[in-house]
Amino acid sequence: MFGKKVRTGLLVLVAAGMLGLLSGCGAQVEAGGGTYAAVGGEALYTINVSGSGMASNIPDIADIQLGVETVNDDAAQAISESTTKMKAVLDAVKALGIEDKDIQTVNYNMWVEQIYNHETGMPTGQVRYHVTNQVSVRLRDLTQAGKLLENALAAGANNVGSITFGVNDATELQKQARAAALVNARAKADELAAGLGIRVGKVRQVSEYVSGNNPVPVVARDMGMGGGGEVPIVTGAYNVTVEVQVVFNIIQ
């Protein structure tokens, strides 16, 4: 019996100590579906909202993947043909003033194809060698996009992997999108607070997520369609999106 009384007394002391810590420091807890923070013995309710903002501009750079694929019964010959054709493609690209720093090999692959008899479905023992060589070219003058593709295709490129537009410096777009996101978040908080008959207080916490997406044809312009036979390219618009999560104090 004496031992049980001692343990009970210790539990009371521990509980009292915990209450003392909560009264001197802040502890955020959930109550009735709402959130409040116990600070100095006073409950501070908060409201959590999300906001989004977007800023757009015309792209000023493009990353274009150009490739050469060769097939030959002889492995060495397949590699040699691939090298010769890719050199011609690179010469055509550099003829437009594109520097070496803006050209990068992104894929070089060689694989063997087994030849099968169409009637029996059995392998014949013959093989073909496939060589794929792809480079990514960063174009800083988008008025040359159509000419670049035309020259590359004429030089022997037989694979255009993708064209991705972007902006060289997205800092200003991020600032604009972030400002719009914060305004959106505050407007949501004010709207919710007005509906509940309360006021929005100071900001307690902010977090953000930034993303840039591929262009969509919102503001489009065609390049290389002036009768020269160049490939038509439409840049679209480059969008930067900022999402914010903001926690405000509530003033009752």
Q: Do the domain assignments include residue 11? A: no
Provide φ and ψ at 79, rounded to 5°.
-65, -45
Residues 74 and 157 reside in one and the same domain:
yes
Kindly report the CATH number assigned to the domain that includes residue 133: 3.30.70.2970
Helices (H), ranges, the chain: 2-24, 75-94, 145-155, 171-196
Q: Which amino acid is it at 46?
A: T
pTM here is 0.65
Structural domain containing residue 125: 61-166
Provide φ and ψ at 95, rounded to 5°.
-65, -20
* pLDDT surpassing 50 at residue 14: no
Residues 104 and 176 reside in one and the same domain:
no
pLDDT, tens digit, 9 for 90 and up, residues 129-170: 999 999 999 999 999 999 999 999 999 999 988 888 999 999
Residues 82 and 141 reside in one and the same domain:
yes
Residues 204 and 155 reside in one and the same domain:
no
Residues 110 and 160 reside in one and the same domain:
yes
Nearest by Cα to 250 from 196, 213, 211, 174: 196
pLDDT, tens digit, 9 for 90 and up, residues 178-236: 999 999 999 999 999 999 999 999 999 999 999 876 543 332 233 333 344 567 777 88
Residues 94 and 215 reside in one and the same domain:
no
Residues 193 and 180 reside in one and the same domain:
yes
